[in-house]
Amino acid sequence: MFEYFYNEILRRTIIGFGTLFNSIEVQQENSVLRIPLAYGPTQKFLARIEQSPDLNKPTAITLPRMSFEFTGLTYDPSRKVTTTQTFIAKDKDDGTESRKSFMPVPYNMQFELSIFTKLNDDALQIVEQILPYFQPSYNLTIELVDQIKEKRDVPIVLESVTMQDDYEGDFSTRRVLYYTLRFTAKTYLFGPTSTASKDIIKRATVSFVTGTDTTNTTRELTYSATARALKSYTDNVVTTLAQDITATTKTFEVTDATGIKTDKYIFIGDEELFVRSKTDNKITVDRGRDNTKAEKHVSGADVKGIDYTTTTLPSIGTIGVDSALIEDGDNFGFDGGFLWKPAANLKI
């Protein structure tokens, strides 16, 4: 049911929240002090202060300082959208509409920002630099999913502000004033993205009119499909490169293009390429097909043909040898299966 993916959305939101408060300063006499910010629970910093009260010790925590912590995660039904709805997004590498994702799920992340000071004036300076930006929310733009460059405004809502002065004891006891600001970040969690071409159409119903017959306009269609390998399993070397090519080169020369077939796929290193045309020993290709990465290749590298030879299978018919040898566990959408594609382009 589940597949591994990690969009780092929670991590990105935590980092984005922290960056809001990493440049706060306070004025002390004739100097300006930038307030240190760290991630951690309030209790840890209070325990450190209480256990190291001597300001002259190098291990003592210098005040003022701030810390923040991610404290909770809850589903937000008020921002719910249709869970089965999908959208197509631009691929970040080539700009084509090739990445598909389900609509995101809204979740609220709770944060606590703690401000520790020795002087009340320091605390008031810090709080006053924060509160005017939250009325009661501040929109923080975060790139939530790197694969599709999905950027969203995440409202950071200020929920409450509390102040506590725990000063008790004699004059040698270190005094700590601390404010606690509670926030809610209204973020979105995305599931895994997939290549749009991996959609499987099992059955479709279309309506059309033939001549003047309008009594029965519904027809049911079925699709035929052909399995195709994404790499050369037979190591069928048809030629070699006659020059070095970069990751963006689309026309290059091979040693002998006699065995190269147009409208067929070739494999160089770990990259799959589609042959558009050839002139003498020069070929023009599409780079990085089927999610392989366009890479640079050196002169003399093997150029392997994919499905350049065929075989006949009883249940399928004529099929490329490489496609007939698809190995179990290959990344074709299903373990041990094929990547099925409709035989005709129909708009449903």
The domain total for the chain is 2
Q: How many CA within 13 A on the CB side of residue 47?
A: 5
Cis peptide leading into 136, omega within 30 of 0? yes
Q: Quick one: which of 116, 125, 87, 119 has its CA closest to 104?
A: 87
Q: What is the pLDDT of residue 345?
A: 37
Last residue of a domain, one of 190, 220, 250: 190
Residue at 258 is within a domain: yes
CA angle 262–225–5, rounded 5-degree value: 95
Tell me the CATH number at 137. 3.30.2000.40
Q: pLDDT at position 248, please?
A: 93
Domain annotation covers residue 274: yes
- pLDDT at res. 52: 55
Asked if residue 279 belongs to a domain, the reply is: yes
Nearest to 108 by CA among 50, 187, 177: 187
Q: What is the largest CA-CA distance in the chain?
A: 101
| Burial class (CB within 10 angstroms; exposed 0-12, middle 13-18, buried 19+) of 135 | exposed
- 10-residue averages of pLDDT along the chain (348 residues): 79 91 86 86 64 48 83 90 66 60 87 89 92 90 81 91 74 72 92 62 54 59 62 86 93 93 91 93 92 91 87 64 58 37 36
Range of the structural domain that residue 256 is part of: 237-324
Pair (177, 247) in one structural domain: no
Q: Which pLDDT does position 238 carry in this prediction?
A: 93
- Report the alpha-carbon distance of residue 93 to residue 159 in Å, rounded: 40
> What pLDDT, on the 0 to 100 scale, is given for residue 112?
94
pLDDT, residue 346, reads: 36
Q: Are 291 and 330 in contact (CB under 8 A)?
A: no
Quote the pLDDT of residue 81.
75
